[in-house]
Structure 1
Amino acid sequence: MTHLYITAPQPDDVHELLAFEQENRVFFEASINARPAAYYCAEGVAEAIAQARQDAEADRGYQFLIRENSQLVGRINLHRVQRAYFNCAELGYRVGARFNGRGIAKAAVEQVRQRAFGELQLSRIEANARPENLGSVRVLEASGFSRYGHSRRSFLLHGQWFDRLHYECHGPLQH
């Protein structure tokens, strides 16, 4: 891995993002719920990018593309931003199949943590991982997240219930 960085999706990313999602669709849908079929066209991705920009402007969520030497290799986001009383968000990420196992997710999580606890002034980030997703568990634990819970049969995928591990990470105390 040489130069890894995160950027908010822009309207001119539509075709590259669509190609990335189509290339990795089967891989992603093996472990997370499928996106609606309408997403997998230029108009669907353009709408998703527009929605991501609206969410960021309204402080509801922040999506980023993960790039390595300008090549799109994954996505990472902070969603479900809650400001009043909680000042937290939930982390999600996905790295393309051919880029797994190279430290990309860990590096992207660190960049999102810095942004979340810096310019976004969040106090806490939450994340979930299935126990059998050892790669994701390792990323979270190596990135300073602590496990605080285990919910049983809480995630339905392909007609089967799965457990989830719950993680949290705290930024510096702010008054």
Structure 2
Amino acid sequence: MATTNYSYLLHGPRVALRHVRRQDYDELTALAQESAEMLRPWLGTRDHTPEAFESYLERIEQPTHEGFVICLNGTGAIVGGININNIVRGALQSGTVGYTAYASTSGRGYMTEGLRLVLQLAFGQLALHRLEANIRPDNTSSLNLVKRLGFQREGYSTAFQFVNGEWRDHERWAITTEMAQAEAPLPT
């Protein structure tokens, strides 16, 4: 069971956002295993070994990556995960967002609330200007998530990502700090 002695970055009405920690391995592995069928079409088969998790932790310790978990307020139980990958500074100030919901808590709005917190952090403390999400055209839940938060479709990327043994097409969606503020003004 999750503990509540973590330092949260931001709180929403039902969930809080914090960085992924080494101690999350067991909980994240159990969630991924219980959600394997739900996630397989979008993520493929994933390696959940301690070595794979260590590699992930090393990646998110780099300045080009951020890794977060979405936790329930009160219990601290993990209900989702969000990464900001490929962060580019300088004139771009952008990154690519990826996220994972879990079968036991899917469909309750936790990802919407959690991604809204990540947008607040990305466009505030992290000083990014733009986030992009690349989503398979048949992933209706994921497309609906970004639409709810004000992302706009920018294009179509043919053979974008290798998933389940094939190069898969993706739709390219993005949001800027100005678009996010117009959608739901961020606190200052």
The answer as to whether partners of 1:61 and 1:81 remain within 8 angstroms in 2 is yes
Are the aligned partners of 1:6 and 1:65 in contact in 2 as well (CA < 8 Å)? yes
Aligned to 2:67: 63
Q: Distance in 2 between matches of 1:96 and 1:135?
A: 12
Q: What is the 5 A alignment of 1:16-27?
A: 16-27=27-38
In the other structure, the counterpart of 1:147 is 153
The count of aligned residue pairs is 166
**Amino-acid identity (%):** 27
8 A Cα contact 1:129 1:165, kept in partner: yes
1:45 is the counterpart of 2:57: no
Q: Which residue in 1 is equivalent to 2:175?
A: 169
Alignment partner of 1:80 out of 70, 77, 86: 86
Q: 1:42 to 1:162 in 2, by over 3 A?
A: closer
Mark the runs of 5 or more structure 2 residues left unpaired by the alignment: 1-11, 180-188
Task: Report the CA distance shift for 1:124/1:141 in structure 2 as closer, same or farther (over 3 A).
Answer: same
Cα deviation per residue 1:52-84 (whole Å; 9 max; x = unaligned)? 2x22xxx21111011123111111011000002
Which runs of structure 1 show a deviation greater than 4 angstroms over 4 or more consecutive aligned residues?
none
Task: Give how far 1:43 is off.
Answer: 4.4
CA RMSD of aligned residues (A): 2.2
Structure-1 separation of matches of 2:34 and 2:24: 15
Amino acid at match of 2:67: Q
8 Å contact kept, 1:18–1:45: no
The Cα offsets for residues 70-111 of structure 1, whole Å up to 9 and x where unpaired, read as 111111011000002211000100100122111122111100
Structure 1 length normalisation: TM-score?
0.84
Q: How far apart, CA to CA, are the structure 2 residues paired with 1:140 and 1:62?
A: 19
TM-score normalised according to structure 2 size: 0.79
Equivalent position amino acid for 2:49 in 1: C
Corresponding residue SS for 1:31: helix
Q: Note closer, same or farther for the CA distance 1:144–1:50 as it changes in structure 2 (3 Å cut).
A: same
For residues 111-170 of structure 1, the C-alpha deviation after alignment (integer angstroms, 9 at most, x for no partner) is 000000000000000111111111111111110101110123434433445321111101
Q: Quick one: distance in 2 between partners of 1:159 and 1:11?
A: 30
Indicate if the aligned counterparts of 2:158 and 2:170 stay in contact, CA closer than 8 A: yes
Structure 1 gap ranges (5+): none
Could you report, residue by residue, the CA deviation over 1:11-57 in whole angstroms, capped at 9, with x for unpaired residues?
2222222222222233322221333x3xx2334324433442x22xx
Distance 1:159 1:46 in 2: 24
* 2:134 equivalent to 1:134: no
